[in-house]
Structure 1
Amino acid sequence: MAPGRLDAVDVTLTRLEASSATLARSLLDLDARAARVLPAPAATASAPGSQTAMYAGRARDRLDWLWDRFTTLSEVLTRARTLRTGGPRPRRTEELEALLHRASVPRKPPPPHADPAAAGGGVDDGDGDGGGVGAGGPVGAVAGISIHPEELLVGTAETVAAANADLDLLETARSGSLATLAAAERELAELTAALQRIGLGSGSVAELAAARTSVSSLAASVASDPMAVTPAEPAETADRVRLARDAVDELCRQHDSLPDELRAASELLAEIVSAAAAAERATATVVTRVTGTDTGLLRLADGWLDDPQRGLRPWLERLDRRQATGDWLRASRGLTAWRGVATSALATARRAAEVNAAPLNRRGELRGLLRALHAKAVRHGVAEAPDLDVVFQRARETLYTSPVDLDAATELVMSYAAKLVGHTDLEEPTR
């Protein structure tokens, strides 16, 4: 047996092994991508006519075809390596030449979903029909028709590229939604943890439940038919998650601020008590020193402070107890209602203090005005004028005798002022 024949076999065997290794790497990469990108067959079965199902089915067909080619080539190479390592006997060399250099492999179907020319169509396989691996022959092997082992590689590179292109389309369709889903799922986990910190379950927040439903729906759509997912769906999911975040943030704020807000409520109650006391003092002073009656004066409703059911103090004490026992949410909501009533009560108390003090303030103003007018009369030397003095004495008696008729006192002071103007005009020198 000539050494050149064995050398030629070795060259072919080395070339086929290198090509097989290259194909193996491509297949492993494709399998890894497919596992990450392709929807489960059961998922695409629910939408058989969709673009996702079409591209996923095409990618699977191409992968199956490539694995079939690789498996067949591996079997040939295993047989060839076994023969080659058995020693350079003439019979083994002839078997190797027959295996590697002749049409020794049953004819295989062409690459799926491919143009025959792009897959190596027209390769002469020696069967006389001009057809080859890419010639669009029958789907299965044809009995009695074989091809050379090297022709198993024809069309594999193009099919690897086509399968990657299919996966690219599916991955691009999924990528935007997957980013939204990943961010949403992280956010939901954080929100659940935040609720656990404040003693609430995730089911207690309607916005969070709605966000979970939206995330689940988007995940199902991406899993089954990512190419049918519209841009509006991830956007809606992101909006739902934002609403959930706002709701949970508000609950956390209420929980964390409640102790300070309860202390502020105690201070507000003390302010109301002080304002109400000022209103009561003003009422007592006006009744005893000015009007003699509380008609027209303001006061807070009976029991506003200590009534067991509606008094502000017992109500606030109940809220304190709820917060201390962990029922902080009801305490927070109750405090909002309490604060509304308390703010109204403070406004009423302040208004009552102002209104009730008005008669006393008016009496003081009239007394001051009468003193100023009398001082002016003294300076002008007319204080003893009979008509002035009579009005002055009557006004003074009215203002310094309880109860005070403020309307009458006002009229007398104004009358005194008018008469004083007349007297002081007479005293002006002529020009």
Structure 2
Amino acid sequence: MSREGVDHALKKLRDERDRIAASLLELDRHQGSRLLEGARLTGETWRRWDGAQARLATLWRLFDAYQRVLDAAGELRDRSSRPDAATLTELSGMLSGFSVELPDGEIPLEHRTLLGPQERRITLDEAVAMMSDAYEFVAGEIAAADAAWTALLQPLERAEEGWRETARLAHSLDGTRHPELDRVGRELTALGRIVRTDPLSLVKDGRPDTVRLDRVCAILTSLGDELAGVARMREDYEELVVRVTASIEEVEETERRAHDAHATALAKIQSPNLPEPSRGLGTALRDRLAALERLREAGRWVEMAGRFAELERAADDALERASGDLRLSAGLLDRRGELRGRLEAYRAKAGRLGLVEDEQLTALYGEAREVLWTAPCDLRRATTVLAEYQRAIRACESETGNRR
């Protein structure tokens, strides 16, 4: 190499060295690198970081060997402003020949033989290529771990804080442990250990897998909402008791009316085929309300919230059942009233048609009225006679029209 060629090569290589040094220092200062160095790693992440650290250590040793060659070449060049041919030859060998001694164990495969490596030196360009490969590998492992932590750590910490708040709320409500909350806490602890020590084990197809964490967060949110509802129930307990008491009273009143209607139907309707109405629905509900009061006095709000919701559903079911009993009995009486109303309406129609004195219609009317106003009333017979009365009126009406 000429003197100008040596100077140009030295300048280019020094610029390259400075960029390499800056990249290596930036890699050391990277957040992911600091996290990996400070964490107690396990599993997949430990295995990969252990391999990356080995490559990184070799990279630094290779950079040191690379830099020593450049420093030696610079010192040799600085000894004379006009180096002689021997010096230029030596400089040419340092800058473009096999001048960089490889760290132990880093002999490239192409330089190895069956009996072992025959060459332990590489060129500066080859050293840069090897350092680039190692840098890309280490940077890729650091970036993968950092991406996993970025995606998982913040949601994990929010979930852990949410669990602590929910646990405090649960304790304030009944002072006892909440089994489901404890289970979620154990799951969160186990997941937290994995996220903090082995985040790469949660990476699938190049992306952090948050399914397990999302499931825990969803359960925790549900528990938090449930306990918040319990807290609101504790605050509004008196109003809720008033409301459920009113529901129980409505059940009792409907139950009483159903029994009255049943007794009336038995007395006034022939062969009603009615089942016996339910009994004691309101009493059973009041017993359950009294049991809830004992839970309140014991401060067992979480348990009481579930029981209270069950009581409200039971009150709704009881009201529907009592109302159904009432509809069955009242329906028969209503049917009798409907038939009576229709009979009088048909009689009024017969009067408007001038058919009041018709013997057939008079007989049918009398028969229908006797059935409907006699207790117990035979609703089937009454329905049949009323239908005959209606057909007779229509027939007479048709004959009158034809004569006209």
Establish whether TM, by shorter chain, passes 0.5.
yes
Amino acid at match of 2:140: L
- For the residue of structure 2 that corresponds to 1:123, the secondary structure is helix
Of 284, 291, 304, the match for 2:269: 291
Give % identity. 21
Describe the shift of the 1:336–1:231 C-alpha distance in structure 2 as closer, same or farther (beyond 3 A).
Answer: farther
Residues 161-203 of structure 1: CA distance to partner in whole angstroms, max 9, x if unpaired? Answer: 8886565323211122102332232222232233234325576
1:351 aligns with 2:324: yes
CA contact (8 A) 2:250 2:319 kept: yes
Between stretches 329-338 and 194-203, larger displacement belongs to 194-203
Aligned to 1:379: 352
Aligned to 1:177: 148
Aligned to 1:282: 261
* Cα distance between partner residues in 2 of 1:226 and 1:37: 16
- For the residue of structure 1 that corresponds to 2:101, the secondary structure is coil
* Cα distance between partner residues in 2 of 1:287 and 1:314: 31
Aligned to 1:322: 295
* Cα distance between partner residues in 2 of 1:416 and 1:235: 79
Residues 142-175 of structure 1: CA distance to partner in whole angstroms, max 9, x if unpaired? Answer: xxxxxxxxxxxxx999999888656532321112
Describe the shift of the 1:53–1:416 C-alpha distance in structure 2 as closer, same or farther (beyond 3 A).
Answer: same
- In the comparison of the two structures, how many residue pairs are matched? 347
CA contact (8 A) 2:149 2:195 kept: no
* Cα distance between partner residues in 2 of 1:296 and 1:137: 101
1:397 aligns with 2:375: no
Aligned to 1:91: none
Residues 199-222 of structure 1: CA distance to partner in whole angstroms, max 9, x if unpaired? Answer: 255763334533432332233213
Amino acid at match of 1:299: P
CA contact (8 A) 2:202 2:209 kept: no
* Cα distance between partner residues in 2 of 1:121 and 1:167: 32
Aligned to 1:18: none
Please give the root-mean-square deviation of Cα atoms over the aligned residues, in Å. Answer: 4.8
* Cα distance between partner residues in 2 of 1:50 and 1:42: 12
CA contact (8 A) 1:291 1:405 kept: yes
1:269 aligns with 2:248: yes
Amino acid at match of 1:189: E
Aligned to 1:54: 51
Amino acid at match of 1:296: L
- Deviation at 1:418? 2.7
Structure ranking higher on relative contact order (CA contacts 8 Å, 6+ apart): 2
Of 135, 138, 143, the match for 2:101: 135
**For the pair shown, which has the larger CA radius of gyration, 1 or 2?**
1
Describe the shift of the 1:43–1:63 C-alpha distance in structure 2 as closer, same or farther (beyond 3 A).
Answer: farther
- Deviation at 1:365? 0.9
Aligned to 2:215: 240
* Cα distance between partner residues in 2 of 1:121 and 1:168: 33
CA contact (8 A) 2:361 2:393 kept: yes
Structure 2 residues not aligned, in runs of 5+ = 1-18, 68-74, 80-90, 106-125, 172-176
CA contact (8 A) 2:258 2:277 kept: yes
TM-score by length of 1: 0.62
1:210 aligns with 2:208: no
Superposition pairs of residues 8-407 of structure 1, within 5 angstroms: 32-33=29-30, 36-39=34-37, 43=41, 50-62=47-59, 122-123=93-94, 134-136=100-102, 167-200=138-171, 204-205=180-181, 206-222=183-199, 231=206, 234-258=209-233, 262-263=240-241, 265-288=244-267, 290-291=268-269, 295-300=273-278, 302-306=279-283, 311-323=284-296, 325-407=298-380
Amino acid at match of 1:237: R
* Cα distance between partner residues in 2 of 1:386 and 1:47: 105
CA contact (8 A) 1:194 1:252 kept: no
